[in-house]
Amino acid sequence: MLIPLVARAGVLAEVDSALTAARAGRGTLLTITGEPGIGKTRLAEEAAGRADGFEVGLLDGEQISLLEEARASLPDGHGALIALVTARLSIASTLVLPECRRLELAAEAVRQARSAGDDATLAAALAALCDAIAGPDHCDGGAAGVRSGTRGR
């Protein structure tokens, strides 16, 4: 069970505004900063929950650049958020980056999520790893090997 947010209406309005802009195709980057213990992680969890169902276009290089910028801007100590952004980057770049790079990103997301000890983040990272292992064939309806459930690896 998540801890309720207290006195965060203004910040949550900013999150909602950023998500509205992003859904309309206007890129946005939110950075959460503050002293230890003031609820940065909980706020990030709330923002991620509000972004549920949000998808990044697979061929949009600008969105991939935004994810790379977001990932690079996150300071150490934000393992769960780094893992989520890295997992999303791996998925978003399915048809853009080489398979080996997508696998590296997804594996990094899994390592970060495990270090953070967050089960929900680990689930998202493992899902990204499954997508990376599957490769891009499943994105266009699947190749014969994917449809039959076998992969020639």
Give tens-digit pLDDT for 102-141: 899 999 999 999 999 988 889 889 988 888 887 555 444 4
Asked if 132 and 90 touch (Cβ cutoff 8 Å), the reply is yes
- For residue 68, which of 77, 53, 56, 54 has the smallest C-alpha distance? 56
Domain residues for 91?
55-135
Domain count, the chain: 1
Confidence of residue 147 (pLDDT cuts 50, 70, 90): very low
- The answer to the question of residue 49 being in a domain is no
pTM score of the predicted model: 0.53
pLDDT in tens, 7-53: 778 888 888 888 888 778 777 777 777 777 777 777 877 887 787 77
- The answer to the question of residue 26 being in a domain is no
Asked if 24 and 59 touch (Cβ cutoff 8 Å), the reply is no
pLDDT value at residue 1: 54
